[in-house]
Chains A and B, each alone.
Chain A
């Protein structure tokens, strides 16, 4: 079974600063996907970024990027030039590559951007 660990329950950062959210996971699979989802206050969960394990290049989406270290089973999310709209719960999630389309989530990090 897979497990996903987010060791930072809460974080806060000043607007325009850079923040990194950590995520580690445990699996015996070689092929899998990793995701960061964002859940703003009282709003729907949305996908922020995804990473295929077989790709060595780290995924980026505008101000969001990941640091994927497969050997260390680490998948951190970096938010650059943070904005007030980045205030949300962030969940790291794992999915096996084939035949099993379930997500395993971490416990989440509540990020607050301070004006």
Chain B
């Protein structure tokens, strides 16, 4: 079975703290994604990675960075957490289909982050 695991379901942090959200997939997928989910806004892409050490900005990268040192792990970093980063964060992974075909994303359970 496909598995995408996010290390925490709930996190509470203080403004200004450095926050790490971890995501691990066991499917040998090339692509990994970080989304932010807010009511009324749907899911918005923060960053994605199509290979180890490779990353690309998504639609809302400001205030975030990422790290992908190993194929199975993709970390989202909030360098200095702010209250407007309180949100649900979803990680996803998918197999690369650069020759075409359907590329299904598999999601983790999400991390609900509160920044106080």
Question: Which residues of chain A have a CB within 8 Å of any CB of chain B?
Answer: 4, 6, 9, 33, 35, 37, 43-47, 50, 52, 91, 95, 97-99, 101-103, 105-108
Contacts and interface: CB of A to CB of B under 8 A. Distances in A.
Interface of B: 4, 31, 33, 35, 40-45, 48, 50, 58, 90, 92, 94, 96-98, 100, 102-105, 107-110
Given A9-B40, A33-B103, 10 more contacts: A33-B102, A44-B107, A46-B107, A50-B102, A95-B103, A102-B33, A102-B58, A105-B43, A106-B42, A107-B42
Given A47-B104, A107-B40, A102 B48 contact: yes
18 contacts: A6-B42, A9-B40, A33-B103, A45-B90, A46-B107, A47-B105, A50-B102, A91-B43, A99-B98, A101-B94, A102-B33, A102-B45, A103-B43, A103-B45, A103-B105, A105-B42, A105-B43, A107-B41
Q: Which of A9, A97, A103, A107 has the most CB of B within 10 A?
A: A103
A36 B1 CA distance: 20
A104 to B, nearest CB: 8
Would you call the interface of chain A mostly helix, strand, loop, or mixed? loop
A103 B4 CA distance: 17
A72 B36 CA distance: 29
Contacts of B33: 102-103
B96 A101 contact: yes
Nearest to B110: A44
Contacts of A35: 104
A102 B47 CA distance: 10
Contacts of A4: 42
A109 to B, nearest CB: 10
A52 B100 CA distance: 11
B104 A50 contact: yes
A36 B87 CA distance: 22
B97 to A, nearest CB: 7
